[in-house]
Chains A and B, each alone.
Chain A
Amino acid sequence: MKNTMMQKNKKNGKKSFILLGLTLITTILILMLMPEKSPEIIETSLSYFKQMALIFPAILILMGLFTVWVSKEFVMTHLGENSALKGIVVAFFLGAIPTGPIFVAFPMAQALRKKGASYTNIVIFLSAWACIKIPQELIELQFLGAKFMLARLGMTIVFITIMGVVINKLLKNEK
Chain B
Amino acid sequence: MKNIIFINGLVLILLIFSLIKDRQKTKKSLLIALKSLGKMAPTIISIILLIGIMYAFFIDKIAILFGQESGILGFISIALLGSIVHMPALLAFPLAGSFLDKGASISSVAAFITTLTMIGIVTLPLEIKTMGKKFAIYRNGISFVIALVIAVLMGVIL
Q: Which residues of A contact B (CB under 8 A)?
A: 13, 16-17, 19-20, 22-24, 26-27, 30, 37, 40-45, 48-49, 51-52, 54-65, 67-69, 102-103, 106-107, 109-110, 113, 119, 122-123, 126-127, 130-131, 133, 135-136, 138-144, 146-148, 151-152, 155-156, 159-160, 163, 166-167, 170-171, 174
Contact = CB atoms under 8 A, between A and B. Distances in A.
Contacts of A174: 134
B25 to A, nearest CB: 5
A55 B14 CA distance: 15
Shortest Cβ-Cβ A-B pairs, 5 listed: A143-B97, A45-B52, A64-B29, A131-B117, A64-B33
Interface residues of B, number: 73
A175 B53 CA distance: 54
A102 to B, nearest CB: 6
Given A41-B52, A45-B49, A106-B123, 4 more contacts: A45-B52, A109-B130, A141-B3, A144-B100
B114 to A, nearest CB: 7
Contact of A148 (B32, B39, B154): B154
A48 B127 CA distance: 35
B143 A127 contact: yes
Contact of B43 (A20, A51, A57, A148): A20
Interface string B5-30: 01110111011001000000110111
B121 to A, nearest CB: 12
Nearest to B17: A65
27 contacts: A16-B42, A17-B42, A24-B49, A30-B53, A37-B57, A41-B56, A49-B48, A52-B44, A52-B94, A58-B12, A59-B7, A64-B31, A64-B32, A68-B32, A106-B130, A106-B131, A123-B139, A127-B118, A130-B117, A146-B3, A148-B110, A159-B146, A159-B149, A163-B142, A163-B146, A166-B142, A167-B142
Interface of B: 3-4, 6-8, 10-12, 14-15, 18, 25-26, 28-34, 36-37, 39-40, 42-46, 48-53, 55-57, 89-90, 93-94, 96-98, 100, 106, 109-110, 113-114, 117-118, 120, 123, 126-127, 129-131, 134-135, 138-139, 142-143, 146, 149-150, 153-154, 157-158
Contacts of A37: 56-57
A127 to B, nearest CB: 6
Contact of A69 (B25, B49, B57, B118): B25
B42 A68 contact: no
A153 to B, nearest CB: 10
Given A126-B139, A127-B139, A58 B11 contact: yes
A110 B131 contact: yes
Given A19-B43, A131-B114, A65 B15 contact: yes
A143 B135 CA distance: 33
